[in-house]
Amino acid sequence: MKACKMKRLVALLSLVFLYINTASAQLAIIPQPLHVTAAKGAFVLKGQGVIGVDQESEAVGRYLQRYLLDTYALVFKVNVYQHIPLHTAIKLISNKSSAEGAYTLSVNSGGITIGGNGAGVFYGVQSLLQLMPQGRGMLFRVPACTVEDQPRFNWRGLSLDVSRHFFTVAEVEKYIDVMAHYKLNVFHWHLTDDEGWRIQIDKYPKLTEVGSKISYWAKQGKFRKLDNLVDDGRDGFYTKADIREVIKYAKDRYITILPEIEMPGHSEAAIFAYPELGCQDSTGAKNRVRMYDPSEHTFQFLEDVLSEVIELFPNDYIHIGGDEAEMDDWLHSPTAVALMKKEHLKNVREIQSYFIKRIEKFLLSKNKKLVGWDEILEGGLAESATVMSWRGEEGGLAAARMHHPVVMTPLPYMYFDAPQAKVATEPIGWNPPVYWQMVYQYEPVSASLAANETSYILGAQGNIWTEKVPNLQHLEYMVYPRALAVAELTWTAKENKNIDRFEQSMYGQYNFFKLWNLNARLPNVQGMEDLVTNKDNIGIVLKHPLKDARIQYTLDGTRPDTKMASKPFPLVIQAAVKDSLLISADVSLQGTEQHIFQTALVKQVTVNPSTVEAAGLKPGLNLTEEKAMLGNPAKGIKAVSAGTYLNGYLKISTEGDYRISTDFEISPAVDLDKQVIISQNKNKYVAPQSALLHLKIGYYQLRGYYPVNDKNKGQTLLVIKNAEGKLLDTAVSLFH
């Protein structure tokens, strides 16, 4: 038994290295296409060239013409042909026989050809743009290649909450532009909530006259204090002309807009404008009112509002919210109590269901489909509803099993208001960190679904709530690069996903971000990790994947002064260690205002060889499983492995420096000579850690513990390297 476990541990101690093919790296496209083939040569783009289009692709041709002019100052003509001449520099050809959204891209020394159906030509253009030079004033060589591509999912979404903080039309259009570059195709526009009503409704002018100025009224003391916002808020609303402009802008980029009008909860701004809509309390208590009263007046109001919304938005879906409804308020409402008696409703969840189904019936009469958050399952799901699963996957799985369409947008993976690294070093946000790797590794189609249920998963969506996001620069910092991971997990075939390849492609996008003036969060510094050492002096090498990145740092924990001289990467920090030191680093990108803040703690420990007798030791570590009990006592209890304790000794045959680390995503606990060298429950992407130790010849007591789960069973438990970076042979260095 121990021999089998030892083999398993030896396997865990091996490392897999992925080498990126230089030709593939040259053709880095996000999201990764279905098939990409690099070829020799290139096509050189020159000004005064021609973009040849047919009637169906003319709009895309003019989009490309404008992009080349605005981004590179390249002047191209757009000519419409019935049959595009072969010598034309760029040919955009509509192909109605291909699948919706599919495209082909061919580049050779004679020119560029893109063909596709519907949005396909546009998506082919986006792939072309990622093969373009990543700066101005360069030779415009597009590498020769062929690309065949089509999307995995039809719903590739990104939301924007404009209720908590308002964003202007220009800011929204920039947000849509970047979505389009990565083939995201659903813009979920969260237009109403407690903190603001942002859409003009002619029949109810006070919704914007009053409800769009909530932060103003809060400052006047006429509305509650907006203590859930990072600041005093940002007021504003969109006129119907604004809405139409944004809809056309999105349509030209093959993006559908999903408007959200919240109900029955999250409706405080509307109720502040029209108090009679609010849930009345028969006890006379004065409470914060965020719930609509389920009265005939309320339903008429909502039908009037939705009629004007429907008139504006040409898409098939209307999102009605349905989340976090404070349904207990209905227990004190005479209207709600009377409704329960009239409709024979047993509880408040059934009032919620009645409310949603009634709105659904109205939407269906207008040829619209209802979308709601997974709470709309409570009390009975509306017959034609599409469910957005946000409270984990459970609601979405339940809806799919009921044969309802589902968009997967679960916490924590798809919530971009969470920080991206250590909470203490990032802008304030909700929930624990969500790093881009976590987003990328999410799979929208659960293995628990039956084959006839998987087709109900329409796709996935990233969400951003803006209580703590006061402006566009901050918004971009929170959304990117995580939205690129959403783009790939919703577009790219599952078998083509590769996180190492994606990472390299992602780094290449930062030059485009600079071209677009996009404030994406910078990648972390490589080598910036919490470190345990027994050395009196250390040398730490810091690297960064972006060539224009620079660093300012201190060794006493104070934040670097922005007036300090910055240094290029790679950077070697030589420092004396006495007990501990705290490295604080501010990383910036030349030519931009982008920067991130990182910290790393270096802690000094003392480790000595054990006095154990080597003659009595056996090869390998001793592994002991911890058992957990699961099941129904009436049906029997099942023992399962909850975790594994490891005990033994690390044999050092040559005195020198050694680095010990873990590749578990959530770290195990590891002690050497009873000193903690790897702390448990730290995420390797958020809080990387390792030990750099000078070890004398001898045996060192090694102990540890790690939980057993599906996620870590394929990960590397411990990595032990010498000063030259060579892995120790575990067969001759681990004993018990």
* Catalytic residue check, 83: no
Report whether 351 contacts 327 (CB < 8 A): yes
* Catalytic residue check, 260: no
Of residues 196, 202, 237, 244, the one with CA closest to residue 217? 196
Report whether 330 contacts 351 (CB < 8 A): yes
Report whether 269 contacts 196 (CB < 8 A): yes
> d(Cα 33, Cα 35) in Å, to the nearest integer?
6
Catalytic residue among 181, 266, 319, 595: 266
Name residue 655's amino acid. E
Report whether 282 contacts 333 (CB < 8 A): yes
* Catalytic residue check, 193: yes
Query: What number of H helices and E strands is found in the chain?
Result: 19, 33
Q: Max Cα separation, the chain?
A: 90
Within 10 Å of residue 671's Cβ, how many Cβ atoms? 17
Name residue 484's amino acid. L
In the numeric block, the tokens 């099941």 are attached to 631
Catalytic residue among 311, 316, 324, 383: 324
Catalytic residue among 54, 149, 193, 260: 193
Angle at 188 between CA 462 and CA 236, to 5 degrees: 115
Helix, strand, or coil here: 181? helix
Report whether 673 contacts 610 (CB < 8 A): yes
Of residues 573, 572, 577, 579, the one with CA closest to residue 537? 577
Ordered alpha helix ranges (H), 74-203 = 120-130, 169-181
Report whether 149 contacts 121 (CB < 8 A): no
In the numeric block, the tokens 């991130």 are attached to 596
- Helix axis angle, 240-251 to 296-312, nearest 10°: 50
* CA torsion through residues 18, 24, 29, 34, sign: negative
Of residues 228, 205, 108, the one with CA closest to residue 470? 228
Sheet holding 111-116, edge to edge: 35-44, 141-149, 103-108, 111-116, 90-94, 49-53, 76-80
> In whole angstroms, what separates CA 221 from the centre of its chain?
37
CB neighbours of 239 closer than 8 A, spacing ≥ 6?
A: 200
Report whether 257 contacts 315 (CB < 8 A): yes
Q: Residue 616 burial (CB < 10 Å; 0-12/13-18/19+)?
A: exposed
Sheet holding 567-568, edge to edge: 567-568, 549-554, 580-589, 595-604, 530-533, 689-695, 656-661, 719-722
> d(Cα 190, Cα 179) in Å, to the nearest integer?
16
Strand partners, 576: 537
Name residue 594's amino acid. Q
Q: Which two tokens stand for residue 244?
A: 């139409």
> d(Cα 343, Cα 336) in Å, to the nearest integer?
10
**Which DSSP symbol is given to 615?**
G
Q: Residue 139 burial (CB < 10 Å; 0-12/13-18/19+)?
A: exposed
- List the catalytic residues: 193, 266, 324
